[in-house]
Structure 1
Protein backbone atom coordinates (compact mmCIF):
# COMPACT_ATOMS: atom_id res chain seq x y z
CA UNK A 1 0.00 0.00 0.00
CA UNK A 2 1.41 3.45 -0.76
CA UNK A 3 0.52 6.83 0.56
CA UNK A 4 1.48 10.40 -0.35
CA UNK A 5 3.29 12.28 2.38
CA UNK A 6 4.57 15.81 1.64
CA UNK A 7 4.34 15.20 -2.10
CA UNK A 8 6.36 11.95 -1.91
CA UNK A 9 5.15 8.41 -2.23
CA UNK A 10 5.99 6.23 0.77
CA UNK A 11 5.18 2.62 1.53
CA UNK A 12 3.00 2.04 4.57
CA UNK A 13 2.81 -1.20 6.54
CA UNK A 14 -0.56 -2.71 7.44
CA UNK A 15 -0.08 -1.48 11.00
CA UNK A 16 0.12 2.09 9.70
CA UNK A 17 3.88 2.65 10.11
CA UNK A 18 6.21 3.63 7.31
CA UNK A 19 8.41 0.91 5.78
CA UNK A 20 12.02 1.23 6.86
CA UNK A 21 11.03 3.09 10.00
CA UNK A 22 12.40 1.65 13.20
CA UNK A 23 10.84 2.36 16.49
CA UNK A 24 13.09 2.56 19.52
CA UNK A 25 11.73 0.80 22.55
CA UNK A 26 12.56 2.50 25.83
CA UNK A 27 14.89 0.41 27.97
CA UNK A 28 16.26 -1.62 25.05
CA UNK A 29 20.07 -1.64 25.24
CA UNK A 30 22.10 -0.37 22.31
CA UNK A 31 23.39 -3.25 20.22
CA UNK A 32 26.40 -2.83 17.96
CA UNK A 33 27.43 -5.07 15.12
CA UNK A 34 30.95 -6.47 15.02
CA UNK A 35 31.98 -3.73 12.60
CA UNK A 36 30.46 -1.09 14.90
CA UNK A 37 32.44 -2.40 17.87
CA UNK A 38 35.66 -2.34 15.82
CA UNK A 39 34.98 1.27 14.80
CA UNK A 40 34.30 2.33 18.40
CA UNK A 41 37.46 0.59 19.71
CA UNK A 42 39.61 2.13 16.95
CA UNK A 43 38.20 5.61 17.60
CA UNK A 44 38.90 5.36 21.33
CA UNK A 45 42.42 4.01 20.71
CA UNK A 46 43.13 6.82 18.24
CA UNK A 47 41.93 9.44 20.71
CA UNK A 48 44.12 7.97 23.48
CA UNK A 49 47.17 7.85 21.21
CA UNK A 50 46.63 11.46 20.17
CA UNK A 51 46.39 12.46 23.83
CA UNK A 52 49.57 10.59 24.78
CA UNK A 53 51.43 12.05 21.79
CA UNK A 54 50.35 15.58 22.65
CA UNK A 55 51.24 15.07 26.30
CA UNK A 56 54.67 13.66 25.43
CA UNK A 57 55.46 16.59 23.15
CA UNK A 58 54.30 19.05 25.81
CA UNK A 59 56.41 17.30 28.45
CA UNK A 60 59.51 17.33 26.24
CA UNK A 61 59.18 21.02 25.55
CA UNK A 62 58.53 21.81 29.21
CA UNK A 63 61.67 19.92 30.25
CA UNK A 64 63.92 21.57 27.69
CA UNK A 65 62.41 24.99 28.42
CA UNK A 66 63.05 24.53 32.12
CA UNK A 67 66.68 23.64 31.47
CA UNK A 68 67.21 26.82 29.45
CA UNK A 69 66.49 29.03 32.42
CA UNK A 70 68.64 27.09 34.87
CA UNK A 71 72.40 26.81 35.31
CA UNK A 72 72.50 24.02 32.71
CA UNK A 73 72.62 26.49 29.81
CA UNK A 74 74.15 29.88 30.39
CA UNK A 75 75.52 30.45 26.92
CA UNK A 76 73.76 30.75 23.62
CA UNK A 77 75.02 31.07 20.07
CA UNK A 78 73.37 32.54 16.99
CA UNK A 79 73.89 30.10 14.10
CA UNK A 80 75.93 31.56 11.24
CA UNK A 81 75.47 30.91 7.50
CA UNK A 82 77.79 27.86 7.37
CA UNK A 83 77.55 26.68 10.98
CA UNK A 84 76.67 23.14 11.98
CA UNK A 85 76.00 21.70 15.42
CA UNK A 86 79.27 19.79 15.13
CA UNK A 87 81.25 22.96 14.45
CA UNK A 88 79.52 24.83 17.26
CA UNK A 89 80.24 21.91 19.63
CA UNK A 90 83.94 21.86 18.72
CA UNK A 91 84.27 25.64 19.21
CA UNK A 92 82.23 25.81 22.42
CA UNK A 93 83.61 22.71 24.20
CA UNK A 94 86.94 21.65 22.61
CA UNK A 95 87.86 19.46 25.59
CA UNK A 96 84.66 17.33 25.32
CA UNK A 97 83.80 14.74 22.66
CA UNK A 98 81.73 16.64 20.01
CA UNK A 99 79.25 13.76 19.72
CA UNK A 100 78.27 14.18 23.36
CA UNK A 101 78.01 17.96 23.06
CA UNK A 102 75.93 17.75 19.86
CA UNK A 103 73.48 15.31 21.51
CA UNK A 104 73.21 17.52 24.59
CA UNK A 105 72.51 20.57 22.36
CA UNK A 106 69.81 18.62 20.50
CA UNK A 107 68.19 17.64 23.81
CA UNK A 108 68.59 21.06 25.41
CA UNK A 109 67.07 22.92 22.45
CA UNK A 110 64.34 20.29 21.76
CA UNK A 111 65.52 19.86 18.16
CA UNK A 112 64.03 17.05 16.10
CA UNK A 113 67.17 16.78 13.91
CA UNK A 114 70.74 18.05 13.93
CA UNK A 115 69.92 20.55 11.18
CA UNK A 116 70.08 24.22 12.22
CA UNK A 117 69.27 27.36 10.26
CA UNK A 118 71.22 30.63 10.07
CA UNK A 119 69.95 33.12 12.64
CA UNK A 120 68.64 30.39 14.95
CA UNK A 121 69.50 30.77 18.65
CA UNK A 122 71.10 27.61 20.08
CA UNK A 123 71.74 27.09 23.77
CA UNK A 124 75.10 25.57 24.71
CA UNK A 125 75.13 23.01 27.56
CA UNK A 126 77.15 23.86 30.65
CA UNK A 127 80.46 22.12 31.16
Structure 2
Protein backbone atom coordinates (compact mmCIF):
# COMPACT_ATOMS: atom_id res chain seq x y z
CA UNK A 1 0.00 0.00 0.00
CA UNK A 2 1.29 3.47 -0.76
CA UNK A 3 0.75 6.66 1.14
CA UNK A 4 0.27 10.08 -0.32
CA UNK A 5 1.13 13.13 1.69
CA UNK A 6 -0.48 16.41 0.81
CA UNK A 7 1.29 19.50 2.06
CA UNK A 8 -0.53 22.79 1.89
CA UNK A 9 1.13 25.13 -0.53
CA UNK A 10 1.35 28.75 0.47
CA UNK A 11 1.85 31.11 -2.37
CA UNK A 12 2.50 34.78 -1.67
CA UNK A 13 1.27 37.20 -4.22
CA UNK A 14 2.08 40.87 -3.52
CA UNK A 15 -0.90 43.12 -3.64
CA UNK A 16 -0.70 46.52 -5.20
CA UNK A 17 -1.95 49.40 -3.13
CA UNK A 18 -4.30 51.79 -4.77
CA UNK A 19 -4.91 55.12 -3.15
CA UNK A 20 -8.20 56.83 -3.40
CA UNK A 21 -8.44 60.54 -4.10
CA UNK A 22 -8.72 61.15 -0.37
CA UNK A 23 -5.66 58.99 0.32
CA UNK A 24 -3.58 60.85 -2.27
CA UNK A 25 -4.63 64.15 -0.68
CA UNK A 26 -3.56 62.88 2.77
CA UNK A 27 -0.16 61.71 1.47
CA UNK A 28 0.41 64.99 -0.39
CA UNK A 29 -0.57 67.09 2.67
CA UNK A 30 1.74 65.03 4.87
CA UNK A 31 4.63 65.63 2.45
CA UNK A 32 4.01 69.38 2.35
CA UNK A 33 3.81 69.59 6.14
CA UNK A 34 6.99 67.56 6.50
CA UNK A 35 8.84 69.85 4.07
CA UNK A 36 7.56 72.91 5.93
CA UNK A 37 8.61 71.49 9.30
CA UNK A 38 12.11 70.72 7.99
CA UNK A 39 12.39 74.24 6.60
CA UNK A 40 11.43 75.78 9.93
CA UNK A 41 13.85 73.49 11.76
CA UNK A 42 16.78 74.43 9.49
CA UNK A 43 15.89 78.13 9.59
CA UNK A 44 15.89 78.10 13.38
CA UNK A 45 19.68 77.81 13.28
CA UNK A 46 20.11 81.28 11.79
CA UNK A 47 20.20 83.96 14.44
CA UNK A 48 20.44 87.72 14.05
CA UNK A 49 23.06 89.54 16.09
CA UNK A 50 23.79 93.12 16.99
CA UNK A 51 26.99 92.97 14.93
CA UNK A 52 25.28 93.74 11.66
CA UNK A 53 26.95 94.79 8.47
CA UNK A 54 25.41 98.26 8.68
CA UNK A 55 27.94 100.81 9.78
CA UNK A 56 26.91 103.70 12.02
CA UNK A 57 27.40 106.98 10.18
CA UNK A 58 27.09 110.69 10.73
CA UNK A 59 26.27 113.13 7.93
CA UNK A 60 28.71 116.05 7.75
CA UNK A 61 28.32 119.08 5.50
CA UNK A 62 31.61 120.24 3.98
CA UNK A 63 32.42 123.83 5.03
CA UNK A 64 34.37 126.23 2.80
CA UNK A 65 38.09 125.47 3.07
CA UNK A 66 37.59 121.91 4.37
CA UNK A 67 39.48 119.05 2.73
CA UNK A 68 38.71 115.37 2.82
CA UNK A 69 41.91 114.83 4.79
CA UNK A 70 40.79 117.31 7.50
CA UNK A 71 37.37 115.67 7.77
CA UNK A 72 38.96 112.21 7.91
CA UNK A 73 41.45 113.35 10.58
CA UNK A 74 38.59 114.62 12.77
CA UNK A 75 36.64 111.39 12.24
CA UNK A 76 39.71 109.24 12.99
CA UNK A 77 40.30 111.16 16.21
CA UNK A 78 36.64 110.83 17.22
CA UNK A 79 36.54 107.07 16.63
CA UNK A 80 39.96 106.40 18.14
CA UNK A 81 41.29 105.09 14.84
CA UNK A 82 44.76 106.51 14.30
CA UNK A 83 45.22 105.93 10.55
CA UNK A 84 43.88 108.98 8.70
CA UNK A 85 44.68 107.52 5.27
CA UNK A 86 42.49 104.50 6.00
CA UNK A 87 39.69 106.81 7.16
CA UNK A 88 39.98 108.76 3.89
CA UNK A 89 39.59 105.49 1.98
CA UNK A 90 36.55 104.50 4.07
CA UNK A 91 34.89 107.88 3.50
CA UNK A 92 35.57 107.70 -0.23
CA UNK A 93 34.12 104.18 -0.34
CA UNK A 94 31.03 105.09 1.71
CA UNK A 95 30.25 108.12 -0.45
CA UNK A 96 31.29 106.64 -3.83
CA UNK A 97 33.87 109.36 -4.40
CA UNK A 98 36.23 108.96 -7.35
CA UNK A 99 38.81 111.37 -5.92
CA UNK A 100 39.53 113.27 -2.74
CA UNK A 101 37.96 116.44 -4.14
CA UNK A 102 35.08 117.72 -2.00
CA UNK A 103 32.97 120.83 -2.45
CA UNK A 104 31.55 123.30 0.07
CA UNK A 105 27.98 122.33 0.93
CA UNK A 106 28.50 118.69 -0.06
CA UNK A 107 27.12 116.19 2.46
CA UNK A 108 29.37 113.27 3.37
CA UNK A 109 28.63 110.16 5.40
CA UNK A 110 31.34 109.69 8.03
CA UNK A 111 31.77 106.48 10.10
CA UNK A 112 31.22 107.07 13.80
CA UNK A 113 32.55 103.81 15.19
TM class, shorter-length = 0.3 to 0.5
Which fold has the larger relative contact order, with Cα–Cα distance below 8 Å and residues 6 or more apart in sequence?
Answer: 2
Could you state the TM-score of these two structures normalised by the residue count of structure 2? 0.47
